[in-house]
Structures are given as C-alpha cells and as structure tokens.
Amino acid sequence: MAYQKKKTGSKQEMAYKFIKSAIINNEYEPNSMLVEGQLSEKLAISKTPIREALRRLAVEKLVEFIPEKGTFVSRTTLEDMIEIFDVREALEGMAARICALRRNADFLAQLEACFTETYKDLIEGNSILTVKDDLAFHNLIINGSRNKNLVSFSKTIMDQVSRYASTTVNDPERLKTSYNEHREILEAITAGTADLAESKMREHIRSVKSYQINTHYINR
C-alpha cells in the first residue's frame, strides 16, 4: 500500500506539472474547459491524480471549479492584473534595492550571465528562450535578496506573472524594450546605487503593466 501511495503521488505530481506548464504557457487559454477524461487519456493515467492536480491548481488560482459546469482555466480580470503588478512592483523594487546594497560577487556574475544569455537569444530571434531568460532575471533578483518572506510572497504571484510574460513571445519590440530596461536595472545594482536600482525596477514593472493593459484589455 505504501508503494501504491507513492506511485499515485508521483502521477499526481506529473499531472500537476503538465497542466500548470500548459496554463502558464497559454497552451490552455483562459476560460478553456479542462476535462478530466481527456487529460486522463492524454497523460495515460487515471482520473484520480488528475483531479488532485486540478485541486492544487485551484488553490493557486490557476483553475476554477464552476458547479454543474466543470473545471476551467482561470481568467484574470483587469483589476486582478493591476493588483498583481502593483504587488510585484513593491516586492521586486525592494529586492533590487537589497541586491544593490549587498552586491554579492557570485550573484552579480549570475545576473550578468543571465543578461548576456538574454542578448544572445534575442539576437538569434529565439523569443521563447528570451521570455524564459527574462523571467530568470527577475527570479535571480528576488532570490538574491535572501529575504525569505519577500521570496515567499513573490512566489505566490510569479506563476500569474509567467502567464503574462508568455504573451510577449510574438512581440519582439516588447522583448527588446524589456531587455533595455533590464540593462538599466543591472547597471544600477552593479554600481550599488540602491535608490536607482529600486526606481529602475519599479519603472520596468510599470512599463510591463502598461503594455499588458493596452495589449490585452484596451486594444483587444
């Protein structure tokens, strides 16, 4: 029995990671229905681990259960998006400030390497990898703060942020803009100018928020 529980848990984890990745990458678009039977068939596992995975995703607000209708991919409203980015601005602005004050050599080397990789992928036109690099840059700064509460609070919203980030895959101009904004953040952190690092990060988050509002809520 113990072995069976472990096996079931593993299948649930597989289902959870698969569905979550598909949602974050917008392979399953907002409002689309997630049918347990179809997912079970696709992943070649029973409905039980699928059901448990969907419950976990509901807690993370990536899916929602609608009585007598089914399970659907959550859609974030304009108000939801604004709240997410306002919290993100505050948290990541603080993270950038802390990183500038500490200026750990290993951290700076990782951040520089990530920025360099972004440039390479951007020049090569690999937009999917560029988006991943973009998110990695932000996560490095968040984790680089070494503030456990800040990291924990940020983690709860980064999955939603990833959903928005994936929408820029087909917009090379936005990717270039973000790259240039990252350059300013990197320079400020490297120079140890905490006020400027926080300011540049906040400006960048507001820039992304404005882009999302105009692209997905006003001009759609």
pTM: 0.83
State the pLDDT confidence band at 112, using cuts at 50, 70 and 90.
very high
pLDDT above 70 for 147:
yes
Does residue 6 surpass a pLDDT of 50? no
Residue 172 identity: P
Residue 128 near residue 172 (C-beta atoms within 8 A): no
What value does the mean pLDDT take over residues 181-191?
98
Nearest to 136 by CA among 157, 153, 120, 113: 113
Three-class secondary structure of residue 60 per DSSP: coil
Give all domains of the chain, ordered by start, each with its CATH number: 2-73 (1.10.10.10), 78-218 (1.20.120.530)
Q: What is the pLDDT of residue 160?
A: 85
- What integer pLDDT is reported at residue 159 of this predicted model? 84
pLDDT of residue 83: 94
The string over 44-79, giving b where at least 16 C-beta atoms fall within 10 Å of a residue's C-beta and e elsewhere, is: ebeeebbebbbebbeeeebbeeeeeeebbbbebeee
The per-residue pLDDT of the chain, averaged, comes to 91
Contact (Cβ atoms closer than 8 angstroms) between residue 166 and residue 132: no
Q: How confident is the model at residue 4 (pLDDT cuts 50, 70, 90)?
A: very low
The residue-averaged pLDDT of 183-208 equals 98
pLDDT, tens digit, for every residue of 24-41? 888 898 889 999 999 999
Q: Which pair of structure tokens corresponds to residue 200? A: 């540049």
